[in-house]
Amino acid sequence: MTEYGKNEYDVIVVGAGPAGLCAALYAGRGMLRALTIERGAPGGELLNTDLIEDYIGFESIKGWELSQKMAEHAKKFGAEIVTDNVERIRKADDGWFDVATARGTTYRAPTVILTAGGTPVKLGVPGEKEYAGKGVSYCAVCDGAFFRGEVLAVAGGGDAAVEEADYLTRYAAKVYIVHRRHEFRASRILQERAFANAKIEVVWNKTVSEIVGTEKGVDHLVVLDTVTGGRSTLKVGGVFIFIGFKPNTHLVEGHVKHDAAGYLITDERMMTSIPGLFAAGDVRAQLTRQVTTAVGDATTAAIAVEKYLAALREQEKAKTKAAAAS
């Protein structure tokens, strides 16, 4: 039986979104001593999503409700979840990982499952920083209700942008979707829903080049035509930005193999190029990023951790036996 010191575990799960909670559940089922660290409430991006309609078994469920169900299920199997912000994951000379947090605690384990998701990609234009929280938002569910009766803009053309534009119409008088291309990248069902919504108008071949406001908040956008290079203005009371996420892989100290966008490359066990470091969900390089793929990754990672730890124990036994024989 493993002897644990203070703040020592078999596995540390970093992040408690769908992937993290699923990993915690399976670690509990596997009778592993596991710790899950989450900077906020469990749920991750589910908490920023109004309706989930593509998670098998639930035709339609609120994001917060699915988060709650997942957290309760994980805790039923003994998941230990602490609220803290992980600042660094480093593999020490003894082969264990040191996971340092903002509150000054360092947790240790021979394995880590990184499920820390990502952070919204910024437009990087004048006015974005100045009007953050004053009309500039990255979360429709969080802030949509503050814009009742307003004319809004959504920047982006993927699933998140089109879905959140549709969501915002329940509050806004009108929603522009500003997209740099002449067609969306979003799934067909989301596109059809947006095109059928009388409150949505698509502004094709345009990018937001500046966000202009007053002391009251956002007043209008300056948009650039990607075809002609011309500029025009769009009168709006707020802009919601959904142009992608940057994976939170910067937490790992040392080089880990990743793709051009920074997503971690794993093998079929979800293990990264650093032995003992596993990745699941939005931090991992893959074709699509959905709740279903996140929990699938996490299931594989947690079971792989069990086998990895068993192999480590066998290696230790073999070393001890060899040392005794010599």
Catalytic residues: 139, 142-143
Query: How many degrees, rounded to 5, is the angle at CA 325 between CA 323 and CA 326?
Result: 65
Taking the C-alpha atoms of residue 229 and residue 252, their distance in angstroms, rounded to an integer, is: 41
Taking the C-alpha atoms of residue 73 and residue 21, their distance in angstroms, rounded to an integer, is: 9
DSSP H or E stretch at residue 219: strand 217-225
Residues sharing a CB contact under 8 Å with residue 151, sequence separation 6 or more, in sequence order: 172, 173, 174, 175, 176, 235, 236, 237
Taking the C-alpha atoms of residue 85 and residue 102, their distance in angstroms, rounded to an integer, is: 5
List the structure tokens of 298. 């996490």
Distance from chain centroid for Cα 84: 16
